[in-house]
Amino acid sequence: MSCSAELLDSDWEKLQIDKCEGNNADKPVEKLHCAALDGRLSILQQFFKDTYDNNPDFIVSVPGRVNLIGEHVDYSGYGVIPMAVEQRVLIALRANGSEITTLVNMEKKYEKAEIDSTFRASTKPLWYHYFQCGIQGALEYSEAMKYKGMDVAVWGNIPPNAGLSSSSALVSAAAICMFLMNEPTVPLPGRKELADLCAKAERLIGTQGGGMDQAIAFLATEGYAKHIEFDPLRCVDVQLPKNAVFVVAHSMVEKNKAASNVFNTRVEECRLAAKCIAAQKRLSWQKVRTLSDVQKMLECNPQKMASLVGDILSDQGYSRDQIASFLGISSKELEEVYMSHGTKDVEEFYLKNRARHVYQEVARVYKFKNCCETLPEKDGILVLGKLLTESHESLKNLFECSDPALDELVDISRSHTLGARMVGAGWGGCIVALTTADKVDQYKEDLKRNYYSSKGVGDAEFGNFVFVTRPGSGAQIHVLNPEKLFGKDSGEGESKNV
């Protein structure tokens, strides 16, 4: 089986996942009892004490992630290969015996908030709305779950609005907090269950994302990337080539996905493309929700689907009327039954290029995994780099979710890396580049000279924008009050510096 060539039909099946393995996916997040904290944990503990004049009972810690390959495919039902990053959201908490939760943040730009058990989505999401999503998700878990007020202090160091999943880390950590408040009456669910619950919960903010971010937040294994597939959630560790070094570079353009409809428009375009392909193939398109649904119905592999899309759909943008006539229904029915409200002001939907991106990107996910598993490191890393570059071209030209700043960073990266691409939803945020240890310093110098110096970034701040990243661990709970060590999975553990 060759990595750069087409995958054979038998390869597709072999590369799919049939189980959820590694890192105790069915077990709850373990509790680490720590007599003394250091690093960021102890700074947050002190901040909590100064604010509330009391010790926190717990500190919940959830990582951000960098997605290595499989961008904008999770909500179409397809797998991804992300890894957790070192940067994490930390939440210190203690029950306060009231109906009100007080939230303070170590960063001044996030204002203090007081919230109760109610939550209504807003078109201008505030930071604590993400916390409320997590709370709502936890409360929906079972009738036995009860809202309980907490004193909370938050400290995150995942660059926000940058495609590294800061929002999902916050949502996921908040859900854990509400479960901790309900122990021992309701025991903590397993990591997989929590990941599904938090993926659903984050949609309350208004964006219709897939489940990638919450899945890696809970299921990450230190030292490994993860191949994750959905419906149902399955995952397997991916050993990256030992000589591969991944560098993240922030474009300094921030994009809050929930504050505009660009993300949901892509979700809608993929859904409508799937329905139109199904209609043209005389399948019952009403049942089709995702590009993965129609691919399975047609029994074609994703690579073949990518070329089939070219025969069925046109390059032009489709109006609502054109899509309705494609499906043989009225525009009113299309809008009322099959479209979401968030895209009401969108006039044209680009179905062909969005679907082509998805099917080709899915092929790249399987090739990436296959390379990690089968190719010698020296050859494998070259192919991985090529896959990253192809992915970026596709996100830029077919999915149209890049940004000139991201394209510039990818261009600068060409000479010192094996490949680079934008990461996360896009329209700003970060790139991830693949290189080797001997090239990292020169690459960073290049970035500094050609990108960051003109933006006024000095040496002291440079590390906040450009950093080497290694696969980190999933969510953790640090128990500061030994009386709160409920549950048979709890036990002594070591709290690491974070």
Q: What, of ligand NG1, ligand ADP, none, does residue 170 touch, CB below 5 to 8 Å by kind?
A: ligand ADP
CB closer to ligand NG1 out of 212 and 274: 212
Nearer to ligand ADP, 58 or 443 (CB): 58
Closest approach, Cβ 205 to ligand ADP, in A, equals 8
269 binds ligand NG1 (CB under 6 A): no
Residue count (the chain): 498
Candidate segments 68-76, 116-124, 339-347, 486-494, binder of ligand NG1 by CB under 6 A: 68-76
Report the nearest approach of ligand NG1 to the CB of residue 71 (Å).
4
Q: Which does 156 bind (CB under 5 to 8 A by kind): ligand ADP, ligand NG1, none?
A: ligand ADP
Does residue 165 belong to the site contacting ligand NG1 (CB under 6 A)?
yes
Q: Does the footprint of ligand NG1 cover residue 163 (CB under 6 A)?
A: yes
Q: How far is the CB of 156 from ligand ADP (least distance, A)?
A: 2
Question: Per-residue string for binding with ligand NG1, 408-447, x by CB under 6 A?
Answer: ----------------xx----------------------
- Name which of 90 and 477 has its Cβ closer to ligand ADP: 90
**Which one of residues 74, 151, 196, 269 is an interface residue with ligand NG1 (CB under 6 A)?**
74
Q: Which stretch binds ligand NG1 (CB under 6 A): 160-168, 303-311, 369-377, 389-397?
A: 160-168
# chain residues binding ligand NG1, by CB under 6 A: 18
Could you give the string, one character per residue 184-213, with x where binding to ligand NG1 holds by CB under 6 A and - elsewhere? Answer: ------------------x----x-xx-xx
Q: Which residues are within 8 A (CB) of 53 and not within 5 positions of it... i.e. 6 or more apart?
A: none
At residue 225, φ and ψ (nearest 5 deg) are -80, 175
Site for ligand NG1 contains 125 (CB under 6 A)? no
Cβ at position 167, least distance to ligand ADP in Å: 3
Q: Does position 115 bind ligand NG1 by CB under 6 A?
A: no
Which residue out of 57, 74, 213, 293 is catalytically annotated?
Answer: 213
Q: Least distance from C-beta 418 to ligand ADP, angstroms?
A: 25
Task: Identify which of residues 149 and 211 has a Cβ nearer to ligand NG1 in the complex.
Answer: 211
- State the residues that interact with ligand ADP by CB under 6 A: 89, 105, 110, 127, 130, 154, 156, 160-168, 170, 256-257, 424
213 given a catalytic annotation: yes
Which residues, other chains included, contact 449 with Cβ-Cβ below 8 Å and sequence gap of 6+?
Answer: none
Instruction: Please give the residue whose beta carbon sits closest to ligand ADP in the complex.
Output: 156
- Nearest by Cα to 481 from 172, 154, 49, 89: 49
Which active-site residues does the annotation give?
A: 213
Binding residues for ligand NG1, per CB under 6 A?
Answer: 67, 71-72, 74-75, 163, 165, 167-168, 202, 207, 209-210, 212-213, 257, 424-425
